[in-house]
Structure 1
C-alpha cells in the first residue's frame, strides 16, 4: 500500500488556485459576503498563507475579476459562418451562460462590490465592453462605423448588461426569450437608425440581406408584421 504525497504548489500555481477558489465562491454569493477565512478553507490552506499571495481580499477579487472578464470577453468570439442573426444568438446564449454561472459576482460587479469604482475594475469592465463592440463590428464587416452605428452598438451592449441584471432578480422572463429579444433589439435599433441615416443604411444593409425567414431577424419581421395587422 502506498501513501499519496501532497505536491507542494509553486507560487503561480497557488495564486491560480486561489483565484479559481475565490471565483467559485464569488459565483455563489456576493464578494462582500465571502471572507478570506472561507477562501482559505476552500483552498485547504491557512489564512496567513492567502495573504502571502495576495495582500488583501480586494487584490484577490480583482485577480478573480480579471479571469472572469477574460472569460466573458471570449464568449463574444464567434466564427464568421452563416447568417449574422444566428451568430448573434449563439453569442447571447454564451453570454447568459456566463451570467447564469456567475450570477452574484456579475451582479456585484455591475451594481457595487468590493472593487467597484477602482481603476482596475473599471478598466476590466471597459475591456469586456470594447471586446463585444469590436466583435459585433467584425461580424458586420465594418472597420470604420458611422457615428450613429457606434452609438447604437454601445447602447445595445449597455442594454444587454441591464437586461441580464434584471433577469437575475427573480428570472421572471424565460432566458431563451431574452436571448432572442436582445438579438431583435439590435436589429430593430439598427433598422431605426438606418431609417434616419443613409450612410448607416448603406453599411448595414448586408446585415439583413440573405437572412433566412426562420432566423432571428426573419422572426423579428414576422412579429412586427403580426403586431401591425
Structure 2
C-alpha cells in the first residue's frame, strides 16, 4: 500500500504538460497574426496618403511617436506622418497641430504647401523649420503667412531685408523688423540689422510710433533714411 500511495503522489506532483503546449500555441498564433496584419511601409504610406477616413487620419496625426531608441519604429512613424500631413482628408485642426508641433522637414514641407492658409501660417511660425523653408513662406501670397515667417528666428537676414522693403508688409511686422539689433536680438550682426531697420524707416507702412524710435536709432544710416523720408 505504501508503494502505491507514493506512486500516486508522484503522479499528482507532476505539472500538466498540456498547459505549456497551449501557451506555446497561443504565442505562435499571436506572432502569426502580427506577421499577417503587418503592412510594409510603402503599402501603409500609400493607404494613408489616399485614405478618405478622417477619423483614422486624425487618430494617426495625434498618436504619440515611438521612443527614438526604437529607430525602426520611429522612422516608420515619421515617414507615415508625411502621408497623413499631405492628405486633404486629414482634418484642418490636425494638420495645424502637426504644422505647429512637428520638427521633421519631410512633414513640414508637405504642410507648407497646404491649400489652407492657417496650416501654412503654423508652419511659418514653427521654429524647428529649416531656414530655406521659412524663406519660401516669406513669399506666400497670404500676408499673415508672410508675417509669421518674417518673425520666425530661422528667417535669414536676406529674407528679413526683403520683408522690410515689401510695400505690402503690415505695421506689426515692420515694428518687429525695426526693432532687430536694438530691442530684439541685441547681439545680431550690426550691419545686417542696420540695413533692415533702414528699410523699415523707408517703408510707407511703418507706424508713427516706430518712426519715432528710428529717429533716435544708433545707426546714422537709419537716421539719414528717416530724414530722406
* Same-fold status (TM-score > 0.5): no
TM-score of the superposition, structure 1-length normalised? Answer: 0.29
Structure with the greater alpha carbon radius of gyration: 2
Structure with greater helix share of residues: 1
